[in-house]
Amino acid sequence: MKMEIKHFEVKSYPEMWKSLGMDVGRFEKMRCVLGDIYQTTYLTQENRPEAMDYFNWIVSEIHGGRIAEILDAKKQKRPVVGTFCVFIPEEIVIAAGGVCVGLCGGSQGPVPDAEKVLPRNICPMVKSSYGFKIAKVCPYFQAVDFIYGETTCDAKKKTWELLDKEVPTYVMEIPQMKRMRDRTLWMEEVKDFKAKIEEITAKEISFDALFKAITIINEKRSALQRLTSLRYHNPSPISGKDALLIEQISFFDEPVRFTQKVNELCDELDGRIRNGISAMPESSVRIMVSGTPMAMPNWKIHNIIESSGGIVVNEESCIGTRYFKDLIDENSNNMDEMLLKLTERYMKIDCSCFTPNNDRIEQILKEYGDSNAKGILHYSLQFCHTYNIEAVKIKDACDKQGIPFLSIESDYSPEDIGQLRTRVEAFIEQVKV
């Protein structure tokens, strides 16, 4: 799907947005801003893979064509479920014939709306997400039938109580430890999640349907694993910004189509590696980013790194490897066994909400070595206490291994870009030495 790009535009669908009860006038302004930011951030890159044209197209239709697909699903009585976390088992939604879309907010725009209700000193992702709904400036929030939240942090689980007044919101309890008793609780939560989806659809999920859904999502995650492994080549055939964009789109796009397009991109990247074609100068310093998720359109840190002499070669985060590093074992003989294997896969997620969480530190060190990175930048959203505190242990582990480490805390505002750029440039110079 080749796009001739002169001026990039996120397509406008005012009538559809009006039918969803949105604040169309305000959203039109946000649409134009997103298009301008995307053009400046992404389309000024040199030597991008041709297969990125598909992902450009997805961004152009992210609030239009994709929403139309979701509304068609609703007309077919297929459930549309909004989620905020990689702990929510999307396989169960797919098995019910539904659509699963990520709703995490990555924009500063609706934060002031949220701050009229929520405290200012909480996670910007929570404020952005809540603000999108109450300001009626996100078609995904307006299109979903219901939302599934989770209990990974205090700000989230209390905000879900308020969000439930705006749209039906169910909450999945996530244990904070990984003992056998916690696995039992998690298994019960997975079963309850399945039962709720079945109640909504008035249809029981069959063994065959869940098996097919598991293979679909396993294939999507495998494609993202393949993309990540290609980034590990030195020099990298794709920029970190483009890889981040793909990871973000994985939470919005139709999964079978997305998998096909990622694999087509990977085929091109294989060829670029064979032909010695890299996305950025070979002298670019290879940086691994770890920490909190970067919901679309939060491209700030990657843009700073890659305009300061670096290239991002890995994301250890919920938007990155934490989402797709593990697959579900497809060898099951009955529904209970399949649900157990699904639960076991989700228990491998090493979110900072867990205590202890040594698995995450080991995973970071492994990914650092695999990616041929030369330094780690740990990124945490403001007031995300678990990631901010866990950064202390990660720094200790890096110090022992002699790994250059920089910890950054930020929000979605552009106000700190100059300060962050100064710190990142100094870090890249340190890594070069």
Q: How many domains does the chain have?
A: 1
Q: Which residue ranges in the chain fall short of pLDDT 70?
A: 1-6
Q: What is the pLDDT of residue 433?
A: 73
- Could you tell me which of 293, 282, 285 has the C-alpha nearest to residue 375? 285
- Could you tell me which of 182, 263, 190 has the C-alpha nearest to residue 222? 263
Cα(212)–Cα(338) distance, integer angstroms: 12
Quickly tell me which residue has 């920089």 as its tokens.
Answer: 406
Task: Confirm whether 180 is domain-assigned.
Answer: no
SS3 content of the chain, % helix, strand, coil (to 5): 55, 10, 35
* Cα–Cα distances in angstroms (integers) from residue 422 to residues 40, 229, 315, 412, 417, in the given order: 20, 30, 21, 18, 9
- Which residue blocks in 232-334 are alpha helix, DSSP H? 240-249, 255-274, 300-306, 321-324
**Domain containing residue 241: CATH number:** 3.40.50.11900
0.85 surpassed by pTM: yes
Q: What is the pLDDT of residue 5?
A: 53
Q: What is the pLDDT of residue 7?
A: 83
Cα atoms in the Cβ-side hemisphere of radius 13 Å centred on 76: 12
Find the Cα–Cα–Cα–Cα dihedral 246, 418, 128, 61, rounded to 10°: -40
Task: Confirm whether 322 is domain-assigned.
Answer: yes
Range of the domain at 234: 217-327+350-432
Task: Confirm whether 412 is domain-assigned.
Answer: yes
Task: Confirm whether 365 is domain-assigned.
Answer: yes
* Cβ neighbours of residue 18 closer than 8 Å, sequence gap 6 or more: 24
Task: Confirm whether 297 is domain-assigned.
Answer: yes
Cα(391)–Cα(291) distance, integer angstroms: 8
Q: What is the pLDDT of residue 6?
A: 64
For CA atoms 104, 110, 113, 118, the dihedral sign is: positive
- Could you tell me which of 23, 32, 28 has the C-alpha nearest to residue 113? 23
- Find out whether 322 and 225 touch, Cβ atoms under 8 Å: no
Cα(346)–Cα(328) distance, integer angstroms: 9
State the DSSP code for 204. Answer: P
Cα(110)–Cα(112) distance, integer angstroms: 6
If phi over 0 gives left and psi between -120 and 50 gives alpha, with beta otherwise, what is residue 47? left
Task: Confirm whether 178 is domain-assigned.
Answer: no
Q: What is the pLDDT of residue 3?
A: 45
Cα atoms in the Cβ-side hemisphere of radius 13 Å centred on 141: 23
State the DSSP code for 173. Answer: -
Task: Confirm whether 280 is domain-assigned.
Answer: yes
Task: Confirm whether 62 is domain-assigned.
Answer: no
